[in-house]
């Protein structure tokens, strides 16, 4: 019996910092492969710090933010619509609407990035092609601004899914 106890020494946790290159067709597929590799019994916990979507594109697309409120935005839009350039009134009206939509999209993107950076558990409601409605508990892994793709990790199924931003109906933070 004493021999058995000496063979079963207490297990200690060890922390490693590594960089891993996984070759796949898309970032989402590479992320899925990485998560499958990491979801084993011997890996107690992990944290993915970068590499979830070629962060360089996100950094290039970020612009310095101006402090605006929703009320200021609406009054600015009305002012732009009320005094359009005499030669192109339709273009001015369309650009004001596009600006409003862009700012709304930026707020959604900021919220998704916040969920991603804080590793927040959210309940995502998605409507797929034929009106199929999915509700899944997940964590945001990546948001690609150029393709409008959201990569999420389903915490129950332990799978990675890729959705278009326009497929997402609602998201609620559950943490």
Residue 97 has pLDDT above 60, yes or no: no
Kindly report, residue by residue over 67-82, the tens digit of the pLDDT: 444 443 434 443 444 4
Q: Model pTM greater than 0.85?
A: no
Alpha helices in 19-167 (DSSP H): 27-38, 55-61, 70-82, 89-118
Residue 145 has pLDDT above 80, yes or no: yes
Structure tokens at 7: 């063979």
Beta-bridge partner residues of 18? none
Region 35-62: mean pLDDT is 67
Query: Residue 151 in contact with residue 27, Cβ under 8 Å?
Result: yes
Beta-bridge partner residues of 71? none
Q: What is the mean pLDDT of the chain?
A: 72
Query: Residue 145 in contact with residue 105, Cβ under 8 Å?
Result: no
All structural domains of the chain: 12-62+115-173 (2.30.30.100)
User: Which of 73, 72, 57 is CA-nearest to residue 109?
Assistant: 57
Q: Say how far apart CA 63 and CA 58 lie, in whole Å.
A: 10
């Amino acid at each position: 019996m004493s021999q058995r106890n000496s063979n079963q020494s207490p297990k200690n946790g060890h922390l490693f910092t590594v960089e891993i290159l996984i070759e796949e067709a898309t970032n989402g597929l590479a992320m899925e492969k990485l998560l499958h590799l990491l979801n084993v019994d011997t890996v107690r916990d992990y944290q993915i710090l970068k590499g979830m979507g070629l962060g360089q594109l996100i950094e290039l697309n970020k612009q310095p933010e101006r402090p605006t409120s929703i009320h200021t935005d609406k009054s600015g839009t009305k002012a732009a619509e009320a005094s359009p350039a005499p030669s192109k009134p339709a273009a001015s009206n369309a650009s004001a609407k596009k600006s409003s939509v862009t700012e709304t999209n930026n707020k959604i993107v900021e919220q998704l990035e916040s969920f991603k950076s804080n590793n927040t558990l959210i309940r995502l409601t998605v409507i797929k092609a034929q009106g199929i409605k999915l509700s899944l508990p997940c964590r945001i892994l990546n948001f690609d601004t150029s393709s409008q793709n959201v990569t999420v990790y389903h915490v129950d199924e332990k799978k990675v899914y890729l959705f278009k931003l326009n497929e997402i109906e609602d998201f609620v933070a559950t943490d």
